Structure 1
Amino acid sequence: MSGPELEYRAAVPTLGIRETVPFRTMLSNRDRLLAELIAWLDENGVEPTGPFFLRLHVVNMADQMQIEVGVAGKSDDTDDRVQAGAIPAGSYAVLAYRAKSMAANRLLHAWIQEQGLELDTKPHPGGEAFASRCEIYLTDPRTEPRKTRWVVELAFLTRS
């Protein structure tokens, strides 16, 4: 729908739930965590300041993924489950799409290589750790339950 492009972004305060899940069940776990986070926001009277997202902290497509389902926002009422955090500032490779996740990810990765950019990653015992690799849901899942209609933005932090 737009991009790919390189865009500088300021840091964004977030509220999120982080878990380690099998790669093959990552999306069903995302949906479960998203429902849990939305319920927590409602119960605590917290209104997000921006979109919901899925952040991939550690990627290992052959095994476990460390993911976070979150939303832009702040609250003093965090607990053991919902934690305050931040998406870091920096230059992000960005691409928005609808309904074609695998193709969009391949396109953005190819564009990053063509531009001579590097993702901000480092080796991790569980796979590859990303400083910030997000799927940002520009369509609010609270108002549009059909995922095929969501506009999603991939935003991957690059090395400066």
Structure 2
Amino acid sequence: MEIFEGPSAVDRPERHYAGIRVVTPFRGMFAVRDELMSELHARYDSGLTFFRLHVIDMDGPMDIEVGVVTDSPPEPDGRIRPGVLPAGRYAAMTFANHGRRANGTLIDWIRAQDLRMDVEESREGDRFACRYEAYLTDPRTERMKTKWHTEVAIKLR
């Protein structure tokens, strides 16, 4: 893993997006992510693409969403729905390669700084107010995922 920026605590504005949200097992989740990205990119030609983790249960179903940031709230279109990345303080880090390790590094940093993630434990898993990986490298122009510059961000309380 290569870290380009952070970890650090940053303020983020509210951002509108068009997204497709599904529940899928952890195993195979990234193939589902890639399919959802293709479906969104067929409709939205530009905008920051991200992978949002609403509920995480590594042993059960994962509640995930792929979105594209838009200038204003989009109209619903089939499976594509409007959404909002909420404003607030986030722990964030920009990296390339090894997303799972990067997420672990960010969570370790949050704990070491005595910060609190905006997350609730539930029977379904850990329910995050907002946790995402934003693809700063356009996945349509760089096919090698190990070269993508990615920002992982977790909303803080």
Q: TM-score range by the shorter chain?
A: over 0.9
Count of residues paired in the alignment: 153
**Structure 1 equivalent of residue 10 of structure 2:** 7
Which aligned segments of 4 or more residues in structure 1 are displaced greater than 4 angstroms?
none
Deviation string, structure 1 residues 7-31 (Cα, Å, up to 9, x no partner):
0111000110000000111111100
Q: Please state whether the residue corresponding to 1:72 is helix, strand or coil.
A: strand
Q: Distance in 2 between matches of 1:134 and 1:37?
A: 17
**Structure 2 equivalent of residue 61 of structure 1:** 58
Question: Taking every aligned residue pair, what percent have the same amino acid on both sides?
Answer: 42
Deviation string, structure 1 residues 19-57 (Cα, Å, up to 9, x no partner):
000011111110011011111225xxxx43xx1000000
Q: Distance in 1 between matches of 2:132 and 2:84?
A: 12
Q: Which amino acid aligns with 1:84?
A: P
How far did 1:142 drift? 1.7
Q: Which amino acid aligns with 1:135?
A: E
Q: Where in structure 2 are there 5+ consecutive unaligned residues?
A: none
**Structure 2 equivalent of residue 145 of structure 1:** 143
Q: Please state whether the residue corresponding to 1:145 is helix, strand or coil.
A: coil
How far did 1:76 drift? 4.4
Please identify, of 57-66 and 75-84, the stretch whose mean Cα deviation from structure 2 is larger: 75-84
How far did 1:126 drift? 1.3
Q: Distance in 2 between matches of 1:123 and 1:34?
A: 28
Q: Please state whether the residue corresponding to 2:91 is helix, strand or coil.
A: strand
